Amino acid sequence: MIYLDNAATTQMFEGGVDIYKKYACQSFFNPSAGYAQSIEIAKELNVARDKILNKLGSSKGNIIFTGGATESNNLAIMGSKRNGKWEYVFSVGEHPSVYNVARELESQGHIVHFVGLQENGQIDYNQLEKVLNSKTRLISVMHSSNETGAINDLRLVDKIRKDKSPQALLHVDGVQAFCKLEYRIDDYNIDLYTISAHKFHGPKGVGALYVRNCASLKNIVFGGGQENGYRSGTENVPGIMSMVYAIENIDVKQNYRRVKELNKKLKEIFSKDENISYVNGNNPYVISFGFAGVNGETLMRALENEGIIVGTGSACSAKKAGNRILENCGLSKDKVKTHIRISFDFNQTIDQIEEAGEIILKTYHNLLEKVK
């Protein structure tokens, strides 16, 4: 099997499994308890926070541990909500765990603006500038698209915010960027930033929310007051520690170079066929390819039989018709249906990509013959 759906999830590092077992079976103590073993675990959690801050490129701020990206995004958005006639701004290209929270805000009677996308998948910066004003409370913009690989210009977003809405908070869903792209969030003046462990070889069910100033946030889960009151519930210590293990064992710069080569190789293989197109996102880890004349889901199923695993878009939306992101990049509904998503991992080789590319081409042409 050649797995090319790494934007959906990644294989956990074996070393991380050992770390998980250690904190599940040996150092299993509850960090909120008062005896020495628990106090030691609480100290280790604080060290873990510092390591995440360092990887994010922040010299300040706080890390709140959560159950994953969906919870982090909900906490960032709903925790930023305030009474009064505030307005909230989102791009239409957001992951469902942001987009559907925006829709919930709208259903509650809040003023919500959705900013469109350019053909390359990036947010429409001109439209963003037009909707921001003195009443904007929160701007939520994805760092890198899980559908197209488009990377938004966060420096430009921050500049527009400073010019039009200096009081607004900036939330960034960084799930497809963290541990994949080189950056420092301090350079973008980000207030809230979401990460998810299983996207970078950590375990599922654990993530974190970076918060520059906790005074800007309110808790949305009530209970025992863990995570300084911002996220009640006993911390998932095994998950957190294995997440940090993954962070420490990822060389972002080296991995980026390797994945860029994989991306280039697959595009070269597909360039043999003028009926294959792609959305030109600039994150090499993710590409959305269109195969004219063939339904993307049909191609995905056929490839599975050949030992090639690809996706058709966000795993959270796999059972829903259409694709909001691709349609907002200007693709017709018929063209959207022909797309599959291919997402790489740095552990893969050029040989594997060459093999996968040739199998995909062959399978595509076989399907084309059947529909003629």
Whichever domain contains 147, its CATH number is 3.40.640.10
Other Cβ atoms within 10 Å of 186 Cβ, number: 15
Task: Single out the residue in 248, 283, 310 at which a domain terminates.
Answer: 248
**298 and 209, same structural domain?**
no
**Which residues participate in catalysis according to the annotation?**
316
Task: Please give the Cα distance from 133 to 125 (Å, whole number).
Answer: 14
Alpha-carbon distance 289 to 337, whole Å? 11
pLDDT for residue 321:
54
pLDDT digits (tens, 9 = 90+) for 67-117: 999 999 999 999 999 988 999 999 999 999 999 999 999 999 999 999 999
Contacts for 119 with CB less than 8 Å, ≥ 6 apart: 329, 330
Pair (202, 98) in one structural domain: yes
Closest CA to 115 of 88, 145, 137: 88
Residues 98 and 27 both lie in one domain: yes
Tally the domains of the chain. Answer: 2
Q: Output the pLDDT for position 11.
A: 98
The pLDDT tens digits of the residues spanning 241-278 come to 999 999 999 999 999 999 999 999 999 999 989 999 99
Q: What is the spatial distance between Cα 102 and Cα 114, in angstroms, rounded to a whole number?
A: 9
78: containing domain: 14-248
Same domain, 257 and 244: no
Pairing of strands 136-140, 169-173: parallel
Query: Whole-number mean pLDDT of the chain?
Result: 95
Are the C-beta atoms of 244 and 237 separated by less than 8 Å?
A: no
pLDDT band at 6 (very low <50, low <70, confident <90, very high): very high
Judgement on whether residues 204 and 315 belong to the same structural domain of the protein: no
Do 132 and 60 share a domain, yes or no? yes
